[in-house]
Homo-oligomer: A and B are copies of this chain.
């Protein structure tokens, strides 16, 4: 099978940033399924993993979002069979999806929403799992719409990959959603994906919240998806006493933890790959969350966050995708279809 990867860390400006190799097609055993990959999407974790790759002679396949068709199931797999269309994020501890075929643990996959194309579906797993785990598990935001009435969440970087699905999920569960965006196009995208009001994260947030036509100039929850260190002082200012802050990325240098004390704040760290990396008992929940997300997509209550699609899973397209990610101005998700 064809697989695209790296032997050592590379720059997106190098000519051979990615290499295409012919590898043996893997065999599904135990709880694994073998998936014929139809579409993948790229995430910041891809560029981080690329830069961290050790020059150890091993070929590393990146790619931590995919949609495809099950080709083969291991003897312990339940609930899936060959021919099933599925979508998943998988695990950073294993080879990724930038490959013709991929092995993945059946506990962390779900049936692809039937009304979505492979590429529309491939945009979602990693970001939907991140948003769901952060908000409905770690921040303990209730799934009960009534209980969230009158509660407000601030999403820092609402138009990004995680932001575009977090905003939809938050709105769907009854929260008032305020998101940050700093350009006309990101503002527009955020408003199309669940964000009710946008404010600009390059300006002080509190005066902008005060200027909105809401009862409150403070928020119950802050979900920071970009540059936590730069956003920190604004977050501490706008969050209510007993509020909860979730973060998925640093930098964290210079953050003063004493800022948490007077208001008794909680800081939640969400890393979607914790469950597969540490093989926690709870990893099956990722299959459950994706199943729930697929239902909401089928019901038309969520929409894909795919903003752009490159056709052809090639070394050149993958390099182009990493280049866009590193430029840091991504809107929604970039998908590569096979």
Contact = CB atoms under 8 A, between A and B. Distances in A.
Interface of A: 133, 138, 140, 240-242, 250, 252, 255-258, 260-271, 274-275, 277-278, 280, 282
A271 B282 contact: no
Contact of A262 (B241, B263, B265, B277): B277
A266 B257 CA distance: 13
Contacts of A264: 133, 138, 269-271, 274
A241 to B, nearest CB: 4
Given A138-B242, A267-B269, 18 more contacts: A133-B264, A241-B277, A241-B278, A241-B280, A242-B274, A242-B282, A257-B267, A260-B269, A261-B269, A261-B271, A262-B271, A262-B277, A263-B274, A264-B269, A265-B269, A266-B266, A266-B267, A266-B268
A259 to B, nearest CB: 9
Contacts of A258: 250, 252
B274 A241 contact: yes
Q: Which 7 A-B pairs have the closest CB atoms?
A: A252-B257, A260-B269, A264-B274, A241-B278, A266-B268, A264-B271, A267-B267
- Give the copy number: 2
Contacts of A240: 280
A274 B278 CA distance: 35
A3 to B, nearest CB: 27
A270 B241 CA distance: 11
A43 to B, nearest CB: 15
Given A242-B282, A280-B242, A282-B242, A138 B266 contact: yes
13 contacts: A138-B264, A241-B280, A242-B275, A250-B257, A252-B258, A257-B267, A260-B269, A262-B271, A262-B277, A264-B271, A264-B274, A266-B266, A266-B269
A263 B277 CA distance: 9
Contacts of A255: 257
A241 B275 contact: yes
A139 to B, nearest CB: 9
Nearest to A257: B252
Nearest to A267: B267
Contacts of A278: 241, 262-263
Nearest to A134: B264
Nearest to A228: B257
Contacts of A282: 242
Contacts of A263: 271, 274, 278
